[in-house]
Amino acid sequence: MNYIVTGGSGFIGSHLVQHLLKNGHSVINIDNFDDFYDYQIKIKNTLESIGKTLEFSFHEKELDIQKLIFETSSNNYHLYYQDIRDKEGLEKIFTKHKVDAIIHLAALAGVRPSIADPMAYQEVNIKGTMNLWELCKAFNITKFLNASSSSVYGNNSKIPFSELDAVDEPISPYAATKKCTEILGHVYHHLYRINMVHLRFFTVYGPRQRPDLAISKFTTFINSHQEIPFYGDGSTARDYTYIDDIIDGILKSIHYLETHQNVYEIINLGENEVINLNQMLATIEENLDKKATKKIMPLQPGDVQKTNADITKARSLIGYHPTTHFQNSIKKFVEWFLKNGS
């Protein structure tokens, strides 16, 4: 199969590309190497995802990315330095390749940055996604998997969160854009028969995690004896989901898309295990054998109190069975972190 993966050099995307290539598929990776975090991290992700062990000398962003494109191109892997807001640029890629399905992971991420710049989030997460659907129409691509988010649930009072719960009260622009793509996705499914699965990811973590995310940031700061920003009293809680389980859920969702017709589904992918902030910090401290210095700060606008995934639908529909417990996976993450010299 030939897959387009948007955001294929990011955290989740690079792991997915690695698995798709390992399973004998072809991948067209579309990534714009956004300045949200250091582009060099994405270059390392890309090389690791395709099994390249070469030493990469960094110089200047544009030149480095062009070098990466040249050195990674093969019969079954093509990297495009492309923004999904640019429909004409995307169309040139679609013209060059036969595409069986699109796995759309590219987005502007993060709750707090979306409050600071909501228009950018609308441009990328809504308009960029619609550009892809318009090209699905034009090129008769009928299988589409979209990365949504647990943030759509807002401060849902019902625990655990079910796909049947009302999600009409998002509390951040990021969450609202993800809800919008689910709604607009149904329009494209209904009008143009694009088979579609939206996966609501619950706080994904693991090797190659973005440096701005809490587990990665706390690990970095504790290891280097820096003060960590600690929001609230530590009682906020998340359903942390290890990257291996997320990839398993994505792959099983793709299989479901490929073996069923007239598909429009929204599916939670989580661990169904809730860890509060104090527990998360203590687990990292234990694995680093170092104590954190905390800077206590108020809860931030847009932050939810708790997330907890009801994964009943994922279990029954796609055979999703997460296997990684938090204590064990933090150990894996810290080992990776220390090995990679972070």
Q: DSSP state, 152?
A: G
Enter the tokens of residue 209. 């995690």
SS3 237: strand
The rounded distance, in Å, linking the Cα atoms of 155 and 306 is: 7
- Catalytic residue positions, numbered: 174
The rounded distance, in Å, linking the Cα atoms of 173 and 55 is: 40
Q: Please name the amino acid found at residue 169.
A: E
Measured from the Cβ of residue 96, the count of other Cβ atoms closer than 10 Å reads: 11
Q: Please report the beta strands in 7-62, taking only residues with DSSP state E, as ranges in sequence order.
A: 26-31
The rounded distance, in Å, linking the Cα atoms of 266 and 306 is: 20
241 vs 152, 158, 202, 238, CA distance in Å?
17, 20, 6, 9
Q: Please name the amino acid found at residue 202.
A: F
CB-count burial class (<10 Å; 0-12, 13-18, 19+) for 148? buried
Tell me how many degrees the CA angle 243-249-252 measures, rounded to the nearest 5: 140
The rounded distance, in Å, linking the Cα atoms of 48 and 64 is: 16
